[in-house]
Structure 1
Amino acid sequence: MKQNWIHKATVIDSEPFKIKGMNIWSYDWKYVGKSIKVKDPNYGQSYTFRIYEIIEGTKKVQFAAGGFSNCV
């Protein structure tokens, strides 16, 4: 099944960012073996970002992450 991914934010490395109340930098990221194609929201260049998940108790969140430029 194909998922539609939405660009939520571009954050600086280690800048707090929460998904469902979980700050992604406070957890170990587990690569789930999948990637998505992403276009830089400012310049339109295509990138491939890996999909990760973080887990807290019964709460599991998946997200894609990668870099557009140094620390971004």
Structure 2
Amino acid sequence: MKWTFEIAGLDGDCRLFGVNIFRYSWRDCGETAAVIDPHHGVEKRFHVYEVIIEGQVHRFAAGEFSNGVFGFYLPET
């Protein structure tokens, strides 16, 4: 599966799917995604998660780029 960079933000304060994603419980799907760091162009491996927002399941990959800075990726459709 291919993943597209969506947004980066600080730990505890990042908007994804129209909400602060850190205020929701993430379920680890037990998978990893190969993603490209948008600033350095290197491949990284981030965990894949699901979150339920207003009854709808959303899937994303996330991980730390650097201390306290997270990157979020969405699956290409």
After TM superposition, the score normalised by the length of structure 2 is: 0.77
- Give unpaired runs (5+ residues) of structure 2: 70-77
2:13 maps to 15
Do structure 1's residue 69 and structure 2's residue 66 form an aligned pair? yes
Do structure 1's residue 5 and structure 2's residue 3 form an aligned pair? yes
Superposed displacement of residue 22, structure 1:
3.9
Runs of 4+ in 1 over 2 A off after TM superposition: none
Superposed displacement of residue 57, structure 1:
5.2
Q: 1:65 corresponds to which letter in structure 2? A: A
Higher fraction of strand: 2
Deviations 1:15-49 (A, max 9, x none): 13131x34311211100111111111111122100
In structure 2, C-alpha distance between the alignment counterparts of 1:50 and 1:56, rounded to whole Å: 19
Alignment size in residue pairs: 69
Do structure 1's residue 31 and structure 2's residue 28 form an aligned pair? yes
In structure 2, C-alpha distance between the alignment counterparts of 1:56 and 1:42, rounded to whole Å: 29
1:45 maps to 42
* Structure showing greater Rg: 1
In structure 2, C-alpha distance between the alignment counterparts of 1:38 and 1:9, rounded to whole Å: 13
Calculate percent identity across the aligned residue pairs: 35
